[in-house]
Amino acid sequence: MFTDRQLPFSLYFLIAFIKAYAAYLKRTGKLEVPKWVDIVKTGTFKELAPYDPDWYFIRAASVARHIYIRKAVGVGALNKVHGGRVNRGMRPSHHAEGSGSVNRKVLQSLEKIGVLQKDKKGGRKITQDGQRDLDRIAMTLAASDDEE
Residue pLDDT, tens place only, 78-89: 999 999 999 999
Please state the φ and ψ torsions of residue 101, each to the nearest 5 degrees.
-65, -45
- At 144 the pLDDT is 78
User: Measured between alpha carbons, how far is 46 from 7 in angstroms, rounded to an integer?
Assistant: 26
Domains in the chain, CATH or no CATH each:
8-147 (1.10.10.10)
- At 148 the pLDDT is 62
- Strand-pairing partners, residue 84, are 96
Higher pLDDT, residue 105 or 148: 105
Higher pLDDT, residue 60 or 144: 60
Per-residue CA distances from 64 to 7, 31, 38, 105, 106 (Å): 22, 12, 21, 13, 9
CA–CA–CA angle 102, 53, 40 (5° rounding):
35
Residue pLDDT, tens place only, 26-67: 999 989 899 999 899 999 899 888 899 999 999 999 999 999
